[in-house]
């Protein structure tokens, strides 16, 4: 099959159309040298081949590596970049302004952490609670494979919304069972009822930032899937440098093939060739 795209993997670009539109995007560390995006929805129902070239590069500095850390970084970048700090995963551990443990990059903190963040309820494999920067919506919901989501509260920083999330985590799930998310077109669960439970918990905690009812607007999403898999077999470029199959669908950051499923985001930094029909 002909080569129809090559580049350094990063998470797929998404657009909240009906169904969601997906594109492969080049994650090469130098933006000026990135190749064009590749539209994927048009490949549904066709045979494709994903071919890992064997080369892995840090998406921040371009250093050749044998393995990546976090979101496609080399080890030195994982230890130096602000976006790789532990507080990004656990925002309640933010240490901005602590002289003994200063922020890795205050400019990054102001641009990303000290921005409005939203606490939301989403329906992925089950109802769940999550947080994200307001500017990341609705992309964050789509990346998680949510079929519906609703914003419930907004706070002025990542740390503040993270502290509220920690309290809610004692009562509500904040994880997605990715196998179930991929198997089911629409998971069971009543998002509206779940959102009311979360709002009641926020009121009980005296949490700030609860949105007025007119801003608690739910959104729904459909995904380009021809057929959901009955069994979910995980595919890995580390085990299989060449993965072939019919593209049955795309959901979250997963490609669903008749041979299994692959989370492309997991392989950020891997140099990949996509072979298939040119259409």
Q: Which of 253, 268, 267, 237 is nearest to 59 (CA)?
A: 268
pLDDT of residue 80: 97
| pLDDT digits 0-9 by tens, 93-123 | 999 999 999 999 999 999 999 999 999 999 9
The pLDDT mean for the chain works out to 96
| pLDDT digits 0-9 by tens, 64-74 | 999 999 999 99
pLDDT of residue 276: 94
Sign of the CA dihedral with 34 first, then 77, 263, and 187 last: negative
pLDDT of residue 184: 87
Structure tokens at 185: 């077109």
| pLDDT digits 0-9 by tens, 40-53 | 999 999 999 999 99
Q: How far apart, in whole angstroms, are the C-alpha atoms of residue 70 and residue 54?
A: 19
Location of structure tokens 């740390």: 159
* Contact between residue 145 and residue 167 where contact means Cβ atoms under 8 Å apart: no
Q: How far apart, in whole angstroms, are the C-alpha atoms of residue 184 and residue 124?
A: 10
| pLDDT digits 0-9 by tens, 235-256 | 999 999 999 999 999 999 999 9
What's this model's pTM, rounded to 2 decimal places? 0.95
For the chain, the domains span 3-72+225-276, 116-220
* Contact between residue 20 and residue 274 where contact means Cβ atoms under 8 Å apart: no
Instruction: pLDDT band for 220, please (50, 70, 90 cuts).
Output: very high
């Amino acid at each position: 099959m002909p080569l129809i795209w090559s580049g350094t993997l990063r998470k797929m670009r998404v657009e909240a159309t009906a169904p969601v539109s997906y594109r492969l995007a080049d994650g090469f560390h130098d933006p000026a040298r990135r190749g064009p995006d590749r539209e994927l929805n048009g490949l549904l129902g066709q045979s494709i081949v994903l071919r890992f070239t064997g080369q892995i590069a840090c998406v921040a500095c371009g250093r050749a590596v044998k393995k990546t850390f976090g979101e496609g970084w080399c080890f030195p970048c994982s230890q130096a970049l602000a976006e790789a700090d532990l507080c990004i995963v656990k925002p309640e551990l933010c240490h901005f302004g602590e002289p003994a443990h200063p922020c890795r990059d205050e400019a990054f903190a102001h641009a990303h952490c000290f921005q409005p963040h939203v606490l939301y309820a989403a329906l992925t494999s089950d109802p769940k609670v999550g947080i994200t920067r307001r500017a990341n919506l609705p992309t964050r919901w789509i990346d998680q494979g949510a079929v519906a989501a609703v914003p419930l509260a907004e706070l002025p920083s990542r740390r503040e919304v993270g502290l509220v999330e920690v309290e809610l985590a004692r009562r509500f799930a904040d994880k997605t069972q990715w196998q179930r998310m991929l198997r089911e077109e629409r998971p069971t669960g009543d998002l509206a009822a779940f959102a009311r439970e979360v709002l009641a918990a926020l009121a009980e905690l005296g949490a700030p930032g609860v949105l007025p009812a007119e801003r608690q607007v739910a959104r729904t999403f459909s995904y380009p899937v021809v057929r959901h898999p009955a069994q979910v077999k995980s595919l890995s470029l580390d085990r299989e440098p060449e993965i072939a199959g019919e593209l049955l669908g795309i959901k979250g950051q997963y490609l669903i093939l008749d041979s299994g499923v692959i989370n492309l985001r997991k392989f950020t930094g891997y140099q990949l060739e996509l072979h298939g029909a040119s259409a």
